[in-house]
Amino acid sequence: MEDLPMRNFIKLKTATLLMFLALFSIPLFAQPGQGQGRGRQMTEENVIERVQRTADSLNLTDAQEKKVQEFEMEFFRKNQKMRENFDFETGDREAMRAYMMKQREERDEKYAKVLTEEQMEKYIQMQERRQQQMRQRREEESEGQRGRGRG
């Protein structure tokens, strides 16, 4: 019976330590890492998966899928180099935006040469939906940011 208060003290001390660690570790996981910018980092595997989904959605032939894969990998690699050299803190975001839009236009021109008219229409619709989803996510993120740090 004499060691019951000591056990309770150890349990309380352990629980306090665990709560302290949990409380102060949350911000570490919430902050983006250096060079990540917004969201998660794309990989070549992500590009391959996206091409596969596109191929399935558009009913691409093997030859078309191969060409699309080439376009997407070229697009991905060019943009990776640009992002690696871009300073997300002080960089010219408008210049980056203009560069990305130009790259997308060039990629879409390549798609137009490979896809049928029907596939191209569907591809454009898919791109528009994707852009709308991205806009919506950005709006939700900015609304979430507005409420932080005030109090």
Q: State pTM to two decimals.
A: 0.60
Residues 6+ apart with CB under 8 A from 151: none
Per-residue pLDDT tens digits for 103-128: 889 989 999 999 999 999 999 999 89
User: Is 90 exceeded by the pLDDT of residue 56?
Assistant: yes
| More confident site: 39 or 69 | 69
**Looking at residue 73, what is its pLDDT?**
92
Token pair 């250096």: residue? 34
